Structure 1
Amino acid sequence: MNLALRRHLADSLAVDAMLGCRPRWTAIATAKDVVALQGRYLLHAGPPITDRSLISPPQKNSMLMAILFEGWATDRQGAEELLMSAEVALHAAQDHACAVPLADVLSPSMQLLVIEDEDCPSRQGFSTLNGGDGPVMRVGQYGEEVLQRLRWINRHLAPQLQAVVARSPIDLLPVADAALAAGDDCHGRTQHASQLIAQALLLRAGSDGLDDEARRFLEQSAAFFLNLWMAAVKCCFLAAEDVPDSSVVTAIGGNGRQFGIQVSAMPGRWFVTAADAPLVPGVDEQTRLRALGAIGDSAIVDAFGSGAMARDLAPLTAQRLAQTCSEHGRAFPGKLLECPHPRLLKSQAYRTGLDARQVCRLELGPVISLGVLDKQGLCGRLDGGFFFSPLKPFQAALEALEAADASA
C-alpha cells in the first residue's frame, strides 16, 4: 500500500495489470498466421528503421538471410536489391506483439513461439525460436551455414515442438522463478531455465515425440529459454498498455543505431536516442572499437527486472556488473524497480515495474545485459556486456505525457 501511494496512480494501475498476466507457452505458429501484416515484411529489433542506408551490417546480414529463406531472392545481390528497393516492408517487432534478440529478423514463413495470458488468451506475445550456438541469424552473420540452421529450426525442429507443446502448455513464471532462485538472471544466464524447459518438453514428448537431433539440440541449448521469456514479458507488457497518463515502460530496445522506449499511455510511439555500444568488463581497445551500438529487443526482460536488473539473485551477473561499473565509473540504479512479483515466490528479491517517472527522479536508467556484436557483421558476437540506458528517451516520454495532460 505504501509503495502504491508513492507511485503515480496511473503507473500503479499499469504495473498491477502487468503483474496480473500469467504467460504460458501454448503453441508454435507461422508468423503470417498470427502477425497482422500482409505481403512481404521483415520485423527487426528496436525502434523503427527510417533510413535503409543506415541499417547496421549485422542487421542487414540477417535481413538478407531472411529474404533468401523466404525465397524472395536467390543470391546475395538479388536480396540486397530487394531490401534496398523498399519492396519489403520493415517494421519494429515490438509494434506487432513480437520481440527478437540482437540482430534477429522475423519474416512471414518463420515459426514463432506463442505465449498467451492464461486469463486472457487473446493477449499473446511472440518471438522467434532460439537457434542455439554456432552460426545463427541473431548474431548478424551472413552465410550458407546460417541459412541451413534457419531452415532446420523452422522446418524440422519447430513442427516437433508444436506437436509436443500442444499436448500441454508450459507456464513460464514458475520456470523463471525456479531459475532465478538457482542463480540465473533470465537474460545473459539462462542455463537453469533452459534445462527446465528441456525437461518439460522431453517429459511431454515421451519416447517418440522428438527425434534424436531435436533432443540433443534442447539438451545443449543453454539460451533456449531467453526467447520464451522475451515473448512472455512482451505478453505482460501488452497487459500494461493503454493506461492514460502512465509512464510504465512497455517497449524498449535497440536497432544498433538507435535505442528507444514506449510507455503505457502512448502505445506505438517511440522515444529514441543514439545507441552507444554496451560496456564490457576487461575488454581490450580493439574489441571496444568493433562493438556495434545496443541492439535487440531482449532489453525488455531487464525492464521487467531480469538480466542485469536481477543482479541480487544472480551472483555471476553481479560480479561482472560490479567490475563494469568500477571500470567505467557507472552507478547501478538499485532503487529503480520496487515492485515484487506476486508469482515469483522463490526469488523474493525480484523487483519489476519500470516507469519513466522513477527514471527521471533518480536520473538513472535501467542497466541492460546485452550481447555485443561486431559492427562490421563479420565476427558475430564479440562478448557480453552491459548497456546503461541513457535518460533522453525517458525524459522525452515524460515531457510528452505532461504536454498531453496540459492540453487535455
Structure 2
Amino acid sequence: MTLSMLYGEPRVITVGAQVLGEALDRQAVPRREVDWRPPLPGASAALARVLADPRRESANATAVGRMLSARPMLTGVRPAREVLGLGAGEFFHAGPPITWERASGPMRGALTGAMLFEGLAATPEEAEERLASGAGITLDSCHHHRTVGPMAGVVSPSMWMLEVADAEHGGTAYCSLNEGLGKVLRYGAYGPEVIERLRWMGEVLGPVLAAALERCGPLDLRTLIAQALQMGDELHNRNRAATSLLVREIAPAIVEAAPDRAAEVLRFINGNDHFFLNAGMAAAKVSADAARGVPGSSLVVAMARNGTDFGIQVSGLGDRWFTGPAGVPDGLYLGGYGPDDANPDIGDSTITETAGLGGFAMAAAPAIVRFVGGEVSDAVAATTSMYEITLAEHPAYQIPGLGFRGTPAGIDVALVARTGLLPVVNTGIAGRIAGTGQVGAGLVSPPSGAFTAALDALCDA
C-alpha cells in the first residue's frame, strides 16, 4: 500500500476548506470534492441525543405526512372581529410576541396606522402615545391565533380576513387582504392614502370577495399553488401566475355578486401581482399547523419575524418560541435606498418556506432573481440545497426545471444542525424608519441560535 501511494497516481478527496482543492486544481491534479460542513456551533452534544431519540423517525414521518397531505381551501372572507374575536385596542402582529418598547420602526408604524384606521387616535402622535402607555392596548402574535400576516402583519378588528380551511385535517387559518406594494400598512406606512385604502378594503373589497366566494364555493388553493409553480411563481415574492389563476376562478362570481363594484375590485386585484400572497400564506399556515403537536418530532412548524427577532416553533415542542436576532436582508434596493435604510427582517411570510415554497421553490421561478438579486443558477442552487435539511418532497408542489421533482418540504431542526445549512428565505425589505414603506427585496438567513436552542429543548422533551 505504501509503494502504491509513492509510485501510483494519487487519488485525492478534498473535504471542507477550499484552499487545498484550489491548489490541486492549479496543478491539474484530479480530485473528488465532498460537500461537507461542520455542524452548527455548539450543537454536537444535543444533536447526538436528538438523533438517537427512538421516537424521532416515526414522529417526523407522522408530522411531515400531515403537512404534505393538507388540502387548504379558501372558504370565505370575514371581518377579524367576527372570526378572531378582536375587540377595540386589540392587535395581532407578525413574528414572536413583542412589546412596543422593543418594536422596530415598521412595526411601530403599522401599529400607529392601525390605531388611526380604527379611530382610536386622531393623530400619529396620539396613537404612538397610547401605544407606548399600553393603556387599553393588547398586542399578541398572529401565530397564537391561527393567523399570519405579511411584513408587520398587524391585524385590527375592522380588517377583513381570508379564511382557509384544511379539508383533510379540519384546521382553519386566517390572513388579512393584500394592500399592494409601496407605501402600505404592512411596511409601516400610515399616511392618509394608506388609511383611505384600508377603509375601501373594509367597505368594498372584503364584502365583495365574501359575496363572490359564497357564489363560487370554496377554492382549492393546493391546486392553484401547484399550477402557479409550473407557471414561474415561487409563491413568496413572485405571485403573478397565482394571482392570475385566482382572478380567473373568482372574476365571474365578483361580477354576478356586485356588478356595480366589480370593475373597481377587479382593477385593484389586477394592479397587485402580490394579491395571492396572503391566501398562499394562510394555505401554508393551515398545512404547517396540521403537523403540530407530535411528541418527539423535530419538524419546524413556524418561522416568523417581528422586525427585531426571528423565531421558530417545532412540532414536538408545543407553542414555545426559539428566537435570535433578525438579520438584514441582502438584496436589491428601490430608488435611492440602500442597506442603511433597511430594517431587520420582518413578517410571517416565512410560513411559505416552512411549507416548501418561497425560497425553497426558487428553482421554479428563475425570474425571481430580477427581484431579489443573483443569477438563475443561484435560484436553482438555493432550492437544491434545501433538500439536505428537509424531510420530504412535496407530492403536489413540483418544479418543472428539476424534472418535476417535489419542492423540499418539512425543515428538520436536527438536519439544520447537522449540515450547518440554514433555511433560504427570500423577502421584501422594509424601511427602518416608521412610515417609509418598502425599500427593496432580497435574501436573508435565520439566526443559527434559534435552531440550536430548539435542539437543546428537544433533548428534554
TM-score normalised by L of structure 1 = 0.90
**Alpha carbons of structure 1 residues 355 and 318: separation in structure 2 relative to 1, 3 Å:** farther
Aligned to 2:298: 247
1:89 to 125, 129, 138: 138
1:314 to 365, 373, 397: 365
Aligned to 2:388: 335
1:17 to 66, 77, 100: 66
**Alpha carbons of structure 1 residues 154 and 44: separation in structure 2 relative to 1, 3 Å:** same
1:98 to 127, 131, 147: 147
Query: Equivalent residue of 2:418, what SS?
Result: helix
Q: 5 Å matches for 1:289-368?
A: 289-317=340-368, 322-323=374-375, 333-344=386-397, 348-349=404-405, 350-368=407-425
Q: Is it true that 1:143 corresponds to 2:191 in the alignment?
A: yes
TM-score normalised by L of structure 2 = 0.80
1:170 to 204, 219, 230: 219
Q: Is it true that 1:186 corresponds to 2:235 in the alignment?
A: yes
Query: How far apart, CA to CA, are the structure 2 residues paired with 1:142 and 1:39?
Result: 19
Query: How far apart, CA to CA, are the structure 1 residues paired with 2:391 and 2:289?
Result: 20
Per-residue deviation, 1:344: 3.1
Whether contact under 8 Å (1:178, 1:346) holds in the other structure is no
Per-residue deviation, 1:296: 0.4
Aligned to 2:440: 383
Q: 5 Å matches for 1:36-51?
A: 40-49=89-98, 51=99
1:130 to 178, 184, 201: 178
1:369 to 426, 429, 432: 426
**Alpha carbons of structure 1 residues 346 and 359: separation in structure 2 relative to 1, 3 Å:** closer
Aligned to 2:268: 217
| Cα deviations by residue, 1:88-112 (Å, 9 ceiling, x for unpaired) | 1111111111110012310122110
2:108 to 37, 44, 60: 60
Q: 5 Å matches for 1:202-241?
A: 202-207=251-256, 209=258, 210-241=261-292
| Cα deviations by residue, 1:308-333 (Å, 9 ceiling, x for unpaired) | 1112211123575645998xxx9954
Letter in 2 for 1:386: L
| Cα deviations by residue, 1:76-127 (Å, 9 ceiling, x for unpaired) | 2221122112121111111111110012310122110000011344x11100
Query: Equivalent residue of 2:433, what SS?
Result: coil
**Alpha carbons of structure 1 residues 149 and 11: separation in structure 2 relative to 1, 3 Å:** same
Whether contact under 8 Å (2:80, 2:86) holds in the other structure is no
Q: Which runs of 5+ in 1 are unaligned?
A: none
2:158 to 109, 124, 138: 109
Query: How far apart, CA to CA, are the structure 1 residues paired with 2:268 and 2:194?
Result: 16
Letter in 1 for 2:75: T
Per-residue deviation, 1:277: 0.5
Which segment is superposed worse, 268-277 or 281-290?
Answer: 281-290
**Alpha carbons of structure 1 residues 383 and 332: separation in structure 2 relative to 1, 3 Å:** farther
Per-residue deviation, 1:290: 1.4
Letter in 2 for 1:292: N
Query: How far apart, CA to CA, are the structure 1 residues paired with 2:87 and 2:417?
Result: 39
Letter in 1 for 2:181: D
Query: How far apart, CA to CA, are the structure 2 residues paired with 1:12 and 1:379?
Result: 44
Letter in 2 for 1:21: A
Whether contact under 8 Å (1:305, 1:353) holds in the other structure is yes
Per-residue deviation, 1:293: 0.4
Which segment is superposed worse, 30-39 or 106-115?
Answer: 30-39
Query: How far apart, CA to CA, are the structure 2 residues paired with 1:37 and 1:140?
Result: 21
Per-residue deviation, 1:343: 2.8
**Alpha carbons of structure 1 residues 283 and 65: separation in structure 2 relative to 1, 3 Å:** closer
Query: How far apart, CA to CA, are the structure 2 residues paired with 1:304 and 1:255?
Result: 19
Q: Is it true that 1:396 corresponds to 2:443 in the alignment?
A: no
| Cα deviations by residue, 1:277-321 (Å, 9 ceiling, x for unpaired) | 011158999611111001000011012121111122111235756
2:123 to 75, 87, 90: 75
1:198 to 227, 247, 256: 247
Per-residue deviation, 1:272: 0.4
CA RMSD of aligned residues (A): 2.5
**Alpha carbons of structure 1 residues 283 and 264: separation in structure 2 relative to 1, 3 Å:** same
Query: How far apart, CA to CA, are the structure 2 residues paired with 1:75 and 1:109?
Result: 19
Query: How far apart, CA to CA, are the structure 2 residues paired with 1:285 and 1:333?
Result: 33
1:31 to 77, 80, 96: 80
Query: How far apart, CA to CA, are the structure 2 residues paired with 1:354 and 1:216?
Result: 38
Whether contact under 8 Å (2:363, 2:399) holds in the other structure is no
Which segment is superposed worse, 286-295 or 342-351?
Answer: 342-351
Whether contact under 8 Å (1:44, 1:93) holds in the other structure is yes
Q: Which runs of 5+ in 2 are unaligned?
A: 1-53
Query: Equivalent residue of 1:218, what SS?
Result: helix
Larger radius of gyration: 2
Query: Equivalent residue of 1:178, what SS?
Result: helix
Whether contact under 8 Å (2:230, 2:398) holds in the other structure is no
Whether contact under 8 Å (1:136, 1:150) holds in the other structure is no
Query: How far apart, CA to CA, are the structure 1 residues paired with 2:377 and 2:246?
Result: 33
Identity %: 35
Per-residue deviation, 1:377: 2.4
Which segment is superposed worse, 205-214 or 363-372?
Answer: 205-214
Paired residues, what number?
A: 395
